[in-house]
């Protein structure tokens, strides 16, 4: 059984280990052999796995393991696990604890907090805070202590943390078997045609932009992903929707909603930070810019979380209020829609 935390990593999940510039005297050499010559304790399999994952770059372009490095090439490799000298340091960071007992912890993560250390984020993460709050958290299959699932840095909302090995196994199976409950609230561009629906389409890394994920509807690449949605409120040029996840792929809601033509409001990575719907009036542009300032991130909140308690067998269900920035932005659109009728 695979853990739900093993969805395809993005650069946010990776750790930059090495960067090299090939010397002037470098004869053409396969990049995997080149890296083995320069990285201490590197194995061929380790480097090949990085290549298969698209995590080796030459001159900022992803290359395969048989690419031949030439003089002057800049070679960079990232791995999913931290460098050997990296230690997860406890940091005294406040946690918004919704529920806690001996085996599970439910927290409400603020927008802007990275869940776990990775490329460019080695401190200030949720795991740094958890290491300070709880000792000896169990590791998931990716080696990340306590994490049963995760949400993006700029997504707010509920997460469950496993405090024991048994709880990790039990909770991970619920996510894998699709028996957990996860409901998100999203503000999206456009007036959605249907009141509710289901989005299906495999998700994998975008081959043209390594920072994005992409839907592959034929299922020829990536992993299965299923998102159910319902309209909560129509607000003119934007729509407030509820999204329930069957699967937990990287950027799933963000990618699926863009795929059906309704990019998340102010989702910079997927183009939602532009005016995608509406008029050309100067006042409207100013209104949207002000809305962006109120909500300087993608409009997505993990509102509801449900699971069966690993020990008691009791159904646990938690609900969280929308954070202030998202609530204010929605109210701004509500007033605009009201006066535009």
Rg of the chain over all Cα atoms, to the nearest angstrom: 22
Tell me if residue 152 is catalytic. Answer: yes
Kind and range of the H or E run holding 133: helix 126-133
Q: How far apart are CA 166 and CA 113, in angstroms?
A: 27
Single out the catalytic residue among 73, 152, 154, 273.
Answer: 152
- Residue 164 has, within 13 A of its CA and on its CB side, a CA count of 11
Q: Please tell me whether residue 213 adopts helix, strand or coil conformation.
A: strand
Kind and range of the H or E run holding 226: strand 226-235
For residues 89 and 98, is the Cβ–Cβ distance under 8 A? no
Q: Alpha carbon 28 to chain centroid distance?
A: 37
5: nearest Cα among 204, 216, 196, 173: 173
- Residue 237 has, within 13 A of its CA and on its CB side, a CA count of 20
Catalytic residue ranges: 152
């Amino acid at each position: 059984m695979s853990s739900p935390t093993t969805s395809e990593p993005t650069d946010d999940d990776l750790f930059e280990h090495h960067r090299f510039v090939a010397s002037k005297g470098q004869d053409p050499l396969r990049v995997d052999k080149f890296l083995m010559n320069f990285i201490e304790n590197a194995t061929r399999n380790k480097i090949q796995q990085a290549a298969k994952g698209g995590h080796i770059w030459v001159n900022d372009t992803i290359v395969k393991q048989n690419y031949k490095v030439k003089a002057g090439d800049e070679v960079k490799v990232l791995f999913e696990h931290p460098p050997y000298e990296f230690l997860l340091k406890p940091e005294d960071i406040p946690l918004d604890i919704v529920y806690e007992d001996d085996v599970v912890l439910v927290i409400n993560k603020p927008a802007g907090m990275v869940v776990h250390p990775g490329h460019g984020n080695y401190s200030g993460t949720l795991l740094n805070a958890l290491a300070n709050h709880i000792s000896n958290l169990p590791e998931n299959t990716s080696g990340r202590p306590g994490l049963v699932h995760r949400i993006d840095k700029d997504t707010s909302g509920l997460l469950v943390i496993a405090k024991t090995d048994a709880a990790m196994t039990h909770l991970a199976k619920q996510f894998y078997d699709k028996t957990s409950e996860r409901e998100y609230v999203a503000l999206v561009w456009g007036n959605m045609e249907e009141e509710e629906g289901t989005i299906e389409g495999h998700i994998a890394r975008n081959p043209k932009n390594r920072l994005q994920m992409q839907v592959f509807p034929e299922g020829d690449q990536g992993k299965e992903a299923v998102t159910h949605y319902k309209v909560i409120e129509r607000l003119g040029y934007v729509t407030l929707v509820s999204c329930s996840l069957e699967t937990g792929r990287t950027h799933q809601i963000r990618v699926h909603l863009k795929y059906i033509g309704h990019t998340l409001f102010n989702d910079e990575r997927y183009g939602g930070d532009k005016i995608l719907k509406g008029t050309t009036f100067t006042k409207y542009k100013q209104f949207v810019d002000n809305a962006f300032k109120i909500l300087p991130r993608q409009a997505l909140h993990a509102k509801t979380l449900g699971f069966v308690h690993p020990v008691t067998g009791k159904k646990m269900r938690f609900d969280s209020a929308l954070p202030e920035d998202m609530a204010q932005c929605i109210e701004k659109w509500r007033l605009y829609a009201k006066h535009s009728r």
